[in-house]
């Protein structure tokens, strides 16, 4: 083939290829991440409507029992009985453990007898002075004082009260309802006098302590709603409210906040690390779940369902929290928004809705 013919043939091929290339002015919606569909794309949708938006401030905190009591034995006797174990829930006044009481009961009876003897001696002394215990108001103060010393009544009374106290405290009782923790000593051993036998923790109404930045302080007020989620249980959330805002900023620019929580399931425990979300309502807004928003060509896109096809819509968003975006442009109330199955959609992709509309 002559050289000129070869060049002419190549030019014709290039011209044909350029004619089949899409023009730059084509709609972006048609050049999105379209994927060949062998079957209808299955999606889930909800009906867009105005809902209450809650501004959210996120922090980490620690669960702290509102009431916590360390229980100690006052005597060095062997432990006779332990009625509970760690983790048991006890009611106020319930027995926790008791010491062997033989020596304590003997000491109490002896002190009781000594007190009775001292009382008789006191009466004899007063009778000798012309007075009677039945009419204490008539006995001069100095006479009564001398009589109590001679009869050893005061010393006997002190010994009796101490013996009575020792016998009473030989059995530990729960000072309030709560959970038993930190029992280490075993039965038939002498408890360590320098440490608590156990701890009673009130976990019914725990307190959550967390820190916020100084510039975040204006966003928090008392009674604001708080969502509390343990790091170890991501699917579990407890609702609480802000109860205390410490009016002091520490050297790191942080402010200490306290919130109360209802722990009816007893799943929050003392010292547990939690995620805290403080929420404040900001009025009615058009809200979409975060899963409904995708990025295409570095722009925010939401797909809506219309006539069994996915419609590509550019949107603008405002405030957000951990679950939702506020839509400021692009959508209207009543739109059927796709929130699941939208990752690989393109404009006008055929779809089938597999759930009932959320309202």
Helices first, then strands: H and E counts in the chain = 4, 21
Does the domain formed by 57-67+203-283 have CATH 1.10.10.10? no
Cβ 191 vs Cβ 185: under 8 Å:
yes
pLDDT in tens, the chain (359 residues): 455 455 545 544 444 444 444 443 334 444 444 444 457 889 999 999 999 988 888 999 999 988 899 999 988 899 999 999 999 999 999 999 999 999 999 999 999 999 999 999 988 888 888 887 777 778 888 888 888 898 999 999 999 999 999 999 999 999 999 899 999 999 999 998 888 999 999 888 899 999 999 998 888 999 899 999 999 987 899 999 999 999 999 999 999 999 998 887 778 888 999 999 998 888 899 999 999 999 988 899 999 999 999 999 999 999 888 889 999 999 999 999 999 999 989 999 999 999 865 44
Report residue 57 as tokens: 């401030």
Cβ distance 205 to 76 under 8 Å? Answer: no
Pairing, β 67-71 against β 95-99? unpaired
- Cα dihedral: 350, 351, 357, 359 (round 10): -60
**In angstroms, rounded to a whole number, what is the distance separating the alpha carbons of residues 240 and 257?**
13
Fold classification of 29-53+284-353 is 2.40.420
Quick one: tokens of 109?
């009876």
Q: Which of 246, 247, 240 is nearest to 278 (CA)?
A: 240
- pTM of the entire predicted model: 0.59
**The token pair that represents 61 in the structure block:** 């905190």
Rg (CA), the chain: 40
């Amino acid at each position: 083939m002559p050289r000129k013919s070869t060049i002419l043939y190549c030019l014709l091929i290039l011209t044909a290829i350029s004619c089949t290339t899409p023009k730059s002015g084509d709609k972006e919606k048609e050049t999105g991440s379209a994927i060949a569909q062998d079957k209808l794309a299955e999606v889930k949708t909800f009906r867009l409507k105005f809902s209450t938006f809650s501004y959210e401030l996120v922090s980490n905190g620690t669960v702290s029992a509102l009431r916590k009591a360390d229980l100690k034995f006052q005597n060095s006797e062997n432990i006779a009985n332990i009625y509970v174990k760690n983790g048991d829930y006890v009611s106020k006044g319930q027995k926790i453990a008791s010491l062997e009481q033989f020596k304590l009961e003997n000491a109490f009876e002896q002190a009781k007898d000594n007190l009775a003897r001292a009382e008789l001696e006191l009466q004899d002394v007063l009778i000798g002075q012309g007075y009677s215990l039945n009419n204490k108001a008539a006995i001069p103060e100095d006479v009564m004082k001398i009589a109590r010393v001679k009869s050893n009544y005061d010393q006997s009374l002190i010994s009796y009260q101490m013996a009575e106290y020792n016998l009473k405290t030989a059995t530990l009782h729960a000072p309030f309802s709560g959970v038993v923790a930190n029992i280490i000593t075993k039965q038939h051993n002498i408890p360590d006098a320098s440490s608590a036998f156990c701890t009673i923790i009130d976990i019914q109404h725990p307190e959550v302590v967390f820190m916020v930045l100084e510039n975040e302080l204006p966003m928090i007020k008392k009674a604001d709603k708080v969502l509390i989620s343990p790091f170890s249980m991501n699917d579990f959330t407890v609702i609480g409210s802000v109860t205390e805002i410490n009016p002091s900023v520490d050297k790191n620019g942080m402010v200490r906040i306290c919130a109360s929580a209802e722990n009816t399931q007893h799943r929050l425990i003392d010292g547990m690390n939690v995620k805290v979300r403080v929420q404040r309502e900001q009025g009615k807004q058009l809200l979409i779940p975060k899963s409904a928003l995708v990025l295409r060509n570095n722009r925010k896109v939401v797909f809506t369902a219309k006539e069994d096809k996915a419609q590509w819509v550019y949107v603008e968003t405002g405030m957000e929290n951990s679950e939702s975006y506020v839509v400021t442009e692009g959508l209207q109330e009543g739109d059927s928004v796709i929130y699941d199955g939208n990752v690989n959609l393109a404009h006008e992709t055929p779809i089938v809705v597999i759930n009932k509309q959320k309202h």
